[in-house]
Amino acid sequence: MHDLRGRAAIITGGASGIGEQCAVCLAAEGAKVLIADIEHARAIRVAEAIGAGCIACACDVTDPTSVHGAVDRARNEFGTLNVLVNCAGIGFVGSIEETEPNDIERLWSVNVMGVYNASRAALPYLLEARDGVIVNIGSVAGLVAVKRRFAYCATKGAVLALTRQMAIDYAGTGLRVNCVAPGTVETPFVDAYLARFHRGEEDAVRRDLHARQPIGRMGRPEEIASLVAYLVSPEASFITGSIITADGGWTAQ
């Protein structure tokens, strides 16, 4: 457990999967949390289940006005903002030949511009706090090639690069910027991927997804959330600009 009392966080994409577990974990360790998600009704349900100190806000990370509204609300409700977890993201299956311009533009707008919009909006408050932390949820797909994931690999690679760059720009200000790069994690994100791209063969593909991690299974959202909780805690004060994999050994091969 990490003592996160007195810290306030905003989590984009916090209504399901890894983002939801980040909200649960940070709140359990004492942080106040705003869940910012385009799925507002689900965000409300998650916030109500967590209880006191957790609120929900409708937020489209591709819209700077929407993001500024969520960030300002977090700052106004909590009186400070110490933590931003950029977790909102979408996927797509296809080679470059199978990826239309609108496909890669959509992924870029969420996976990359979403991180840009939220980070830029939160930055003044994070600097004001003097102990701010940004954690970007990347992917091993930003580190290694994954077959038929052209757009996804490109956008997650960009997230890794901007993580390192921001960390250097703000080193010494009190603001730290890191990235967690998970392997395949069993979440609604995976369920939606199976339903869209592998209808009728979900069970077989799910077995393959488990098997491609050397330890033989997909990750669990709470395992990623625990790592995020450490990175936003004072115990991680010497860590910035790092890309930390949590991938069951995938990138060790």
As a whole number of angstroms, the distance between CA 157 and CA 178 comes to 14
pLDDT number for residue 193: 76
Residue 187's pLDDT band (boundaries 50, 70, 90)? confident
Instruction: Report pLDDT for 44.
Output: 98
The pLDDT of 136-143, averaged and rounded, is 98
Instruction: Say what percent of the chain tops pLDDT 90.
Output: 90
200 or 143, which is more confident = 143
What is the model's pLDDT at position 23?
98
| 88-97 average pLDDT score | 96
Residue 9 pLDDT greater than 90, yes or no: yes
Catalytic residue ranges: 152
CB 14 within 8 A of CB 27: no
What is d(CA 61, CA 36) in angstroms, rounded to the nearest whole number? 9
The predicted pLDDT at position 188 comes to: 79
Query: Which stretches of the chain are DSSP H helices?
Result: 17-28, 40-50, 64-78, 101-107, 113-129, 150-169, 188-197, 202-211, 221-231
Beta strand 243-246 with 32-37 is unpaired
* Cβ(14)–Cβ(36) below 8 Å: yes
- Residue 203's pLDDT band, with cuts at 50, 70 and 90, is confident
Question: Which residues are paired to 32 by β-bridges?
Answer: 8
pLDDT in tens, 149-172: 999 999 999 999 999 999 999 999
Domains belonging to the chain, first-starting first, are 8-183+220-245 (3.40.50.720), 186-218 (no CATH)
Contacts of 143 (CB under 8 A, 6+ apart): 157, 160, 181, 243, 245, 251
Which secondary structure element, helix H or strand E, spans residue 136, and what is its range?
Answer: strand 133-137
pLDDT digits (tens, 9 = 90+) for 17-50: 999 999 999 999 999 999 999 999 999 999 999 9
**What pTM, to 2 d.p., does this model score?**
0.96
